[in-house]
Amino acid sequence: MPKSATGYAGPLGISYGRLVPDNGSVLEMTREMFEELVAEALDRIPPELTRLMDNVAVFVEDEPPADDPELLGVYEGTPLTERGEWYAGVLPDRITIFRGPTLRMCESQEDVVAETEITVVHEIAHHFGIDDARLHALGYG
């Protein structure tokens, strides 16, 4: 992946952030830039899987709930494997990816790109009914 003067640059040359020494070397990245990383991670999901996704929306939030400040992402809903005849007329499942903890845990823009992709795949896997133990075994912990 190319780099720009301010950090990681995506395929279109968009700069995705830089280290800011004044804030304890936490990466700085706008919400829009982070949303673009999430969109790129979603675009890398194979089409044969995205066609199977049903009634799910993906959101980006700055921070997770106060009781779990290191949470990178969360899936809320009914996995495809648990849906039955009763599943109709319900609100979409919700996948939320959290920007703040991701930027605080990563040391480089490349780390943010990789961690964002892992988190997106992890949460989509929950939509398909794959539990945390299996995801950890597959390297998506």
H or E stretch at 26: strand 26-28
Give the C-alpha separation, 121 to 41, whole Å: 8
Check whether 15 has a pLDDT greater than 90.
no
DSSP labels, 92-121: PEEEEEEHHHHHHH-SSHHHHHHHHHHHHH
Q: What percent of the chain has pLDDT over 70?
A: 82
Structure tokens at 140: 């998506």
Cα torsion 8, 132, 137, 53: sign: negative
pLDDT tens, position by position, 35-77 = 999 999 999 999 999 999 999 999 999 999 999 999 999 999 9
Topology of the domain covering 28-76+92-138 = Zincin-like (3.30.2010)
